[in-house]
Structure formats: structure tokens, C-alpha cells
Amino acid sequence: MRIDTDAIVVGAGGAALWAALELAHEGVQTAVLTKLYPTRSHTGAAQGGVCAALGNLEEDHWEWHMFDTVKGGDYLSDQDAAEVLAREAIERVIELEHMGLPFNRTPEGKIDQRRFGGHTRDFGEAPVKRACYAADRTGHMILQTLYQQCIKAGVRFYDEYHVVDLLFEGGDANEGGRAAGVVAYRIADGEIHTFRAKAVLLATGGYGRAWRITSNAYSLAGDGMALAYRRGVPLEDMEFYQFHPTGVYGIGILLSEAARGEGGTLLNRDGERFMARYAPRLMELAPRDMVSRAMYLEIRDGRGIDGKDYLFLDVSHLGRKVIEEKLPDITDFARIYLGVEPLREPVPVQPTAHYAMGGVPTDLSARVLRDETGALVPGLYAAGEAACVSVHGANRLGTNSLVDLLVFGRRAGKAMAEDVRGGTLPEIAADADEPVRAEIEALRTRAVGERPDTIRAEMTRLMDEKVGVFRDATLLSTAVERIGELRERYARVVVADRGTTFNTDLLETRELGYLLDCAQATAASALARKESRGAHSREDYPERNDAAWLAHTFAFRRDDAQPDLRYKPVSITRFEPKPRTY
């Protein structure tokens, strides 16, 4: 089936929904395609908060928020983008409140705020309460609120449509083509549908499933990033992948930083608050890259609990009232998954793969960049975790992702509405869906080959061991080589389910292909960057090197070879790079 519309939004997480809402308010006919039912999008898993310098409990200013974002990002954040984020965060959170989001309140009825890592007052002096929250279900409330608003505004949803290709008019993105639509596989019956539009937004989330220990749901497979990459769009700063310090030991499910924001402590086998040695001022509220590194160093020096590869998160001193009112879900996770009672006992934790700072490069209006010169791909937009604008630089601060969705999701919607006004629908061939149809058919009918499970297990183990918190040339070269081999093996993969009804075997196998593309871009970009910055920590190049590396990586895909890497200068408007201490 072929469907024409003015705008397409791929995804139904926070970034997508705000864009769709904006488009609806502008009267633009929009199709939202999502492989998950909208309220199952991963934004719903976000726990701790969304930050804005409201100053409800303590003095605060957007300039402090901007500074923290840039410093937290180890000066790789584009400062024009960080300024937009910090300024507009305030309006967006208040707008959400007006839409009905049930934030926790202060006794006077204002939005309550709490501390989060790296958010400070007076340009780094002391922690500040900046995270607005709804218990530890902030993302769930954002998603529900935006979805209700979209329904009210009459947004058209195509639920459980899995987008499998992007369409362009006049050649792929690297050939100067214009975005023209998408091809989607309807999960219920395996039918292929072609959607044509004047503007397309990718808001498909991250790719944490490339690692074994991860906080990310199974659905986070880098779909939008890989689909764009395959059509000639570069991927920016993929070497900067965040490991969150407090994943449930052994499985990676997240225990939000809110636990530390409320006063939770990290302890080693000696019961010592070891962060005092690594970040004496902010302690457990130092940025995530620093806390995760400190945890690895403790474990490596034999101070893991019982000499093993985990440490303790202790919230037992916070008392029942704080835990039940502010941290109910994450303390339940400890009970359910580990059988630990956080009211009385410390919880075993380890760093977990969590968030992509990199992604599809965009400008401040969420328009996708074709290359490092800043040339645009007409009609193509990206927002949310799939995009790299780049506000988070080399390391994102907690609560800055949700606000990124709100600010740049809205900006995407506004820019798309402008773009489609008066324009004409692009031309696409009647058989534009043929290449991906053929790929899917080949996958469905291939008789002999390897099952995807072994490739997935090898990829995730490889990423854990060689593209983790600490890296060096030997680890990364091995990762690059082995991911190359896995991609070759993937070309001969077979599925067990040959059917068309809810064939999750087929779709998960396609997702594995997306993950391999993202993993390759990550490892190759990391191998090339010979410095340590933010979440990219090279033991063979332990220092940040601004003279050589104050630049964004742009990785361009090649079919049978490593990606081409080029570099783009960082936008520095206010804060000159300085050593980063906390």
C-alpha cells in the first residue's frame, strides 16, 4: 500500500511525540510510525527527572545549566546548542506542567526539584536542585502526557509499523538527494507499506542493545541511525557512549541517579565512600563518566564487594518515607531482581551501557547534516537519542536527555511545519520499496546459514569487553576487526520463523544488522580518537588533547570496509575548555 502525507515521524518516544504535537498544532497532516505501541517507547522507562533551571528551591540560572552541560560534556558540546537547551528547558517543563504532568510538589505547590550528577550552582561550586521529577517515573509521565495531547490533537498513529528503509528523491543523502518517505513492515501481517512525505523525522532512540550489560530495552537497536547511515548520512561522535554507574548487578537494569541525588552513597568492600578520592567536592554526584571510571578502578584494585566486579549503592539511611515517595520503582527493582531489601541492605551495582551521545548529526532546528561542512539533507530531520545536535558532547549529564527530547523534538516539529508549507511531494519510483522487500524475502527464505543468536552474543560480549569504560588500541583494533567478521557472517544469517504474522524472529534479526552498523561506527571512531575525553577513556592516551582532538567525529559508512572518518570543529561561544575537576 502507498500512503501520501505531508510529514512522517518515525518513533513515538518523547522527541517524536512533541514533534508530532507541534505539527498537529500547525495543521500539518502527519503520520507517526512506531514499531512499539507508543506508550511502550523507552522514554517511559526514564526514571529520575528532567532538568530546568526553575530555581524553585535554590537560586538557579540557565547560564549555570549551560555551563554544567558543556563542562559535563568535557567541552565537546556545541555551545550554541547547549545554550538553546538550557534556555528553552524552562519553558518546556512549564508547558508540560500546563499539559497536566503530575510532577512531585514542594509544600507551597511548586514543582519539586532534586540534585543530579554534575548540575551545580555558581559555575561548579556546589550541587544544585535542578531535576524536576514525578517520583522515579518521570519518563512514564512525560510519555503519557504527550501521548494524550497527541490523541487530543488528532495525530494519526501507525502502531507496530516497523520502518525498514528510508526513501530519497534524486539519489541518497550523500548524493544530494532529498528525503522522500519511508518503507514500513506491518508487524501484524508482514505487509510492506510505502509512505511518501515532504519531511521525515527520525526519533528512534538509542542502541544500547549492542552491549550485554545494558539499561536499554530490547527495542533499542539503533534502527534510525543505521537506516540513515546506510543511505549516506554520517553518524557523529559514536565513540562517546555513556556507561551509567548504577545498573543492577549482572543484568544492567537501571537504578536511577536520583538515588544518589536523594543522598544514596556508593561503597566499596571496606565500606568506604570511595568517591571522596575521585571527586572530593561532588562525590557521588560527579558526572557519570567519572563515577563509572572510579568504580572500575576500585574493582580493578580488588576493592569490589568480596573481591568481585560489583560495588554497593546504599540508600538504607534515607528512611522509608523518602524511599516510598521518591524512589519507589527502583527500590522495587532491587527487591525483585536481587532479592535485596534497600530499606535495610545495600544494593549490588555495576556500570551499565546506557546512552548514546552520538547519532545522526543535526543543526539547531533538528535538520540532518550531510557532512562535516554543515550541508543539509533536504527534508530529513532527527531528534532525541537517535540524533546528535550536539548538546551532550563527550558525556551527558543526568536529566539532560529528557529535556533534549522536549526542546529539540519541539524544534523539529516547528522546522518541519515550515518546510512542508507550500512544498510539493517528492517523486518516488513505483518500485521504491523493492530493494528492502528483496532483502526481507531473502532473509525469510534463506535455507542454510547461521542463526543470529550466536552473532548477537559475540557482538555484545565484544562490546562489553573491548568497547567499554576503559579502552586502548589493542582492545579497539580487535573489536573493529571482529565486528567486521561478524558483519560478514551476518550476511548469511537465517531465521527460524518463515511466517508473516508477528514474525519477531525476522525483525529482531534485522535489528541485529542495525546494531552491527552502530557497533562498527562506535569502535572505528573510538580507535581513531587518540585522547581521553568524557566517556571515551583511552588508557594509552589518558589525557584530553584539545590541540588535536577538540572536534566532532563524522563516520561515513562503506559497504565492505571500515567507515571513512572526518572531523568538524566544536562550536565554542562562551566557555573556553578548562581542566575538568569536581
Ligand X SMILES: Cc1cc2nc3c(=O)[nH]c(=O)nc-3n(C[C@H](O)[C@H](O)[C@H](O)COP(=O)(O)OP(=O)(O)OC[C@H]3O[C@@H](n4cnc5c(N)ncnc54)[C@H](O)[C@@H]3O)c2cc1C
Q: What residues are annotated to the active site?
A: 288
Site for ligand X in 173-202 (CB under 6 A): none
Contact between 215 and ligand X by CB under 6 A: the answer reads: yes
Contact between 162 and ligand X by CB under 6 A: the answer reads: yes
Q: Name which of 95 and 272 has its Cβ closer to ligand X.
A: 95
Contact between 420 and ligand X by CB under 6 A: the answer reads: no
Contact between 89 and ligand X by CB under 6 A: the answer reads: no
Distance CA 387, CA 389 (A): 6
Q: 358 is written with which cell numbers? A: 552520538
Question: At a CB cut-off of 8 Å and minimum separation 6, what does 413 contact?
Answer: 18, 19, 20, 21, 22, 23, 26, 201
Contact between 34 and ligand X by CB under 6 A: the answer reads: yes
Selected from 6, 68, 223, 372, the binder of ligand X by CB under 6 A is 223
Instruction: Report, in Å, the least distance between residue 164 CB and ligand X.
Output: 7
Instruction: Report, in Å, the least distance between residue 192 CB and ligand X.
Output: 13
Bridge pairing between strands 161-169 and 387-388: unpaired
Distance CA 459, CA 210 (A): 7
| Residue 225, Ramachandran bin (φ over 0: left; ψ between -120 and 50: alpha; else beta) | alpha
Contact between 535 and ligand X by CB under 6 A: the answer reads: no
Contact between 216 and ligand X by CB under 6 A: the answer reads: yes
Q: Are 359 and 388 in contact (CB under 8 A)?
A: yes
Contact between 96 and ligand X by CB under 6 A: the answer reads: no
From 91-99, 168-176, 380-388, 492-500, give the range in contact with ligand X by CB under 6 A. 380-388
Contact between 36 and ligand X by CB under 6 A: the answer reads: yes
Instruction: Report, in Å, the least distance between residue 514 CB and ligand X.
Output: 8
Contact between 350 and ligand X by CB under 6 A: the answer reads: no
Contact between 92 and ligand X by CB under 6 A: the answer reads: no
Q: Are 206 and 218 in contact (CB under 8 A)?
A: no
Residue 480 DSSP SS3: helix
Selected from 197, 311, 405, 479, the binder of ligand X by CB under 6 A is 405
- Alpha-carbon distances, residue 396 vs 119, 388, 399, 485, 535 (angstroms): 11, 11, 9, 31, 9
- Alpha-carbon distances, residue 316 vs 331, 350, 396 (angstroms): 10, 18, 28
Contact between 311 and ligand X by CB under 6 A: the answer reads: no
Residue 164 DSSP SS3: strand
Contact between 113 and ligand X by CB under 6 A: the answer reads: no
Instruction: Report, in Å, the least distance between residue 395 CB and ligand X.
Output: 13
Distance CA 325, CA 367 (A): 40
Instruction: Report, in Å, the least distance between residue 195 CB and ligand X.
Output: 11
Torsion sign over Cα 547, 549, 551, 557: positive
Q: Name which of 128 and 203 has its Cβ closer to ligand X.
A: 203
Which residues of this protein are in contact with ligand X, per CB under 6 A? 10-16, 33-36, 41-43, 45-50, 138-139, 162-163, 203-205, 215-216, 219, 223-224, 254, 256, 355, 384-386, 399-402, 405
